[in-house]
Amino acid sequence: MLANARAWLEQDPDEATRTELEGLIEAARSGDDAAIAELHARFDTRLAFGTAGLRGELAAGPNRMNRVLVAQAAAGLAAYLLEKRGAQASVVIGYDGRTNSQIFARDSAELFAGAGVRTILLPRLLPTPVLAFAVRQLGVSAGVMVTASHNPARDNGYKVYLGDEDQGSQIVPPADSEIAAYIARVAGAGPITELPRSDAFELADEALVYAYIVATAAVSDELPGDVGLDVVYTAMHGVGWDTASRVFEAAGLPLPLSVAAQQEPDAAFPTVSFPNPEEPGALDLAMQTAREHRAELILANDPDADRFAVAIPAPEVDGGWRRLSGNELGTLLGWAAAEEEAGTRGAHRTPKVLSASIVSSPALRAIADHFGLGYVDTLTGFKWISRTPDLLFGYEEALGYLVNPETVRDKDGISAATRFLGLALRWKAAGRTVADQLELIAGEIGHYASGQISLRVTDLAERGRIMDRLRSDPPTSLGTDPVTAFDDLAHGDGELPPDNILRIRTAGGSRVMIRPSGTEPKLKMYLDVRGDSAADASARLAALDASVHALL
C-alpha cells in the first residue's frame, strides 16, 4: 500500500494533494493507525466509473477525486472515443464553480487534444444544461461536465455524455463499463506524466451560450401582458444566476429578486450545510428574502443548475413557506405539457409520451391517461428518461425536469424555471395560485401524496445487507395493509432492464420503492399513495411511513 501511495505521489501535479499525501505516508510509516486506515480507504480500491461518471471527495488517491484520477479518466475516455469514432472523435468540456472544476476541465482538454481528439472547452464556468446543449449543438462525439451537482462542498465529479446516435444523453450500459475498462488500462500503463498533452484545443465562443439562452427562452408561453409576479430566486452558491437571468429576460419574464448572499459561485457553500434544495434549511435564506419582500413565489436551482425547486406561500406552516415536492412540481409541469399537447395533437405525426423514473409519483401516468397520451416508466436517472422515444415531458422526483427534449437530453433546471415562471403568470391571470392549480389537477386525477425515507449509512455494505434481508424475508403487510406484490427488479420486470430496486404494492393501493442511492451513502425508500381527498392522502401517507420505518 505504501509503495502504491508513493508511486501516486510521484505523478501527482497538485501541490495540495501531494502535501496531504506526504503527511499521511509519514504518519503511516510511524505506525499511526488512523493514517494507515485512511491510506487503505484511498488505495485499496478505485473510485468506480459508472453511469454517473465519477463523483467523490477531493483528496489524493485512486478512491478520491484529484488531478491524477481525472487525467486517467480523460485519457481513458479519449482512447474509447478514438476506438469508436476514429479520426472524427470530438468532445466538448464544461465546468462549474466547485473546487478544482476549472483545473480538471483544463487538464482534460490538454489530454484529449494530446490524444488526437478534437476538443472544445466552454469559455467559462457554466451550468450543466449548457454543456448538455453544447453536445447536440456542436455535433460532437461526447461531452464532459466537471461537477458534483448538489453534493457537499468537499466533492467533485466527472459526468459524461455521448453524441451521435446517443443524441447528447448521459452514458448508459454498456458504454460505462467499456469506458471504465479503457481508464483501467491507462491507470495500469504508467504514470500520468507520460501521457501526451497539447494546448491545441478550441475555446467555444459566447455565441454558443447565447444559442442556449434563445432556445431555452422559447419554452415560456405567451405571457399575459397585464399581470406581474414578485419572485425570489436562489442559485445556491452555484452557476445558475447569470444564465438563468439572461433566459428570463430573453423570454420577457419578470426578473426575480436574487438572494444576494447565494448569487455568485462559491465553492465553500458558506450559507448552506448541504447545497441541495431538497435538504432541510437549504431554502431558508430564500424564504427569509421572500418574507422581507412579500414575494409570491420562490425559484431555486442547485449549484450546477440542472435541478429546479419551487416554494410557495403557506401560512399554515412555520415560516410561512413550503417547498413543493419533486412530485408536486412534476405534476404541475406534466399537466401543463399534456394539456397543451392535447390541444394541438393534430399537428404531430407521432403521439407524444410522458415519462418518469419508477420511483416518481404514479400521478404522471394518471395525467397521461387523462389526456390520452402515452406513458413510459424508466429506471432512475435522466440517462434513461432522456432516451424515451417521442418524449414530451419527463421528470424524476429528485427535482429533475426535462421540458424541452429537442434542446437538451438531460434534466435542465433553467428551462424548467423558465417554463414554470410563465405558467405561474398564466395561472395568476386566471385567478389561481400555484396551490390552487395543484388542487384543480387533484380534482381530475385524484389526490396523490408522496414521501421519502433516506437512511444514511457510514458503511456502504450496510445498504446491501438491508436489501438482502428484505429479499430473503419479504414483508407480508405494511401495518394493517396486506402486501399484494413484492417485486425484485434485480432481473428486470419485462419492460425495464435489471436494477437493484425492490417494489412493494399493497391492497390499499400504496406503493413503496427501495433502492441504494447511486450518488450518496444512503438507502432510499419512496412512498406513494392516492387518496379521495388531501386529508385522506395525508393520513394514508403517514400510516405508510410508520409501517416502512418498522421494516428497517
Q: Which three cell numbers stand for residue 347?
A: 399537428
Point out the residues that are catalytic: 149
Q: Which three cell numbers stand for residue 503?
A: 417494489
Q: Are 96 and 301 in contact (CB under 8 A)?
A: no
Among the listed residues 271, 268, 401, 248, the one whose alpha carbon sits nearest the alpha carbon of residue 324:
401
- Report the C-alpha gap between 291 and 320 in whole angstroms: 8
Among the listed residues 532, 533, 524, 529, the one whose alpha carbon sits nearest the alpha carbon of residue 543:
529
- Report the C-alpha gap between 436 and 174 in whole angstroms: 45
346, amino acid identity? G
- Report the C-alpha gap between 466 and 297 in whole angstroms: 40
Q: Cβ atoms within 10 A of the Cβ of 46, count? A: 18
Q: Are 90 and 203 in contact (CB under 8 A)?
A: no
Query: HSE (CB half, 13 Å, CA atoms) of 299?
Result: 29
For 88, phi then psi, to 5°, come to -85, 0
Strand 169-170 and strand 155-162: the pairing is antiparallel
- In which residue are the cell numbers 415536492 written? 325
Q: Are 36 and 5 in contact (CB under 8 A)?
A: no
The secondary structure of residue 47, as a DSSP letter, is P
List alpha helices for 116-174, DSSP H. Answer: 128-138
* Biggest CA-to-CA distance, the chain: 76
Among the listed residues 143, 149, 146, the one whose alpha carbon sits nearest the alpha carbon of residue 175:
143
Q: Are 65 and 235 in contact (CB under 8 A)?
A: no
Q: To which H or E segment does residue 26 belong? A: helix 15-29
Among the listed residues 51, 71, 50, the one whose alpha carbon sits nearest the alpha carbon of residue 62:
71
